[in-house]
Amino acid sequence: MRRAAVPAVILALWLCMALAAPWLPLQPEHISLPDILALPSGEAWLGSDDLGRPILDRLIMGAATSFHVAVWVVLISALVGSLIGTVSAYWGGITDLVIVRVIDIFLAFPGILLAIALAGIMGPGIGNVVVALSVVGWVGFARLARAQVLSLKHRDHVTAAVALGCPSTRIVLRHLVPLIGAPLIVEATFGIAAVVIAEAGLSFLGLGVQPPQASWGNMIRDGARYMLVAPHMVLAPGAALMLVVLAVNLLGDRLRDRLDVRSRVRP
């Protein structure tokens, strides 16, 4: 439990920042010329950027942006990918063959490059980022769901349900989906970390969140030009991004160990 305490605190802080951002008296877009590139002080805890905007306020708004994008992308990817993978494995035949070939086509392209191409075609913006990352992200959930269902659909309880004349929909929802939930939850946990990195990368390239709206990626991009005179512009969002991704991955490892029955030590 102690190993998971620090990551849990970091994620709780990220969650609180994301949920409280719309209600806090923040001024992430307020330009103050006298405060340009100001160092951290009592008035601005993390300093100001190249336009005099408070970095702390923009950091909190960037936390809200990354959180909302991560939640929506993982939710859409998990639902679509799990449904496609389950249908592919359970019905088999030509359906499974076509879906597997589609998955192979998506896997032939690096995920981030495909997301960059889609974001470039659709244009910048949070909505387009969610769509682009969801188009890329469903593949991992589909592969995992398909592999799990293939290993479960010939189990005794499924065979008994088929022999009793249960409809296919009922078999899938009552006898298969609950058993594949644990690995999908772990996959979703790691997916959150991947989406946070991908959203920051797209915003860094100018294909994601656009100024003056705050994102950790475009904050790092704006601060890269002033690394020698104002390193706090990069260090603050960079540290936040690193801590959130590291905390999500650590908790994902912890959750995987907890849900893996084979790894538990029997008394």
Lowest mean per-residue pLDDT among 36-40, 179-183, 260-264: 260-264
Pick the CATH number of 2-20+53-259 from 1.10.468.10, 1.10.3720.10, 1.20.58.1180, 1.10.1660.10: 1.10.3720.10
Q: Note whether 207 and 112 are within 8 A (CB).
A: no
**Helix locations, 108-231, DSSP H:** 111-122, 126-152, 156-163, 168-171, 181-204, 216-223
Mean pLDDT of the chain: 87
Residues making up the chain, counted from first to last: 267
Mean pLDDT of 121-125: 85
Domain boundaries, the chain: 2-20+53-259
Lowest mean per-residue pLDDT among 41-50, 58-67, 93-102, 140-149: 41-50
Distance from the Cα of residue 88 to its chain's centroid = 25
Please choose, from the candidates 108, 255, 260, 121, the residue with its C-alpha nearest in 3D space to the C-alpha of residue 193: 255
What local confidence, expressed as pLDDT, does residue 267 receive? 46
pTM of the model: 0.88
Alpha-carbon span 238 to 257, nearest angstrom = 29
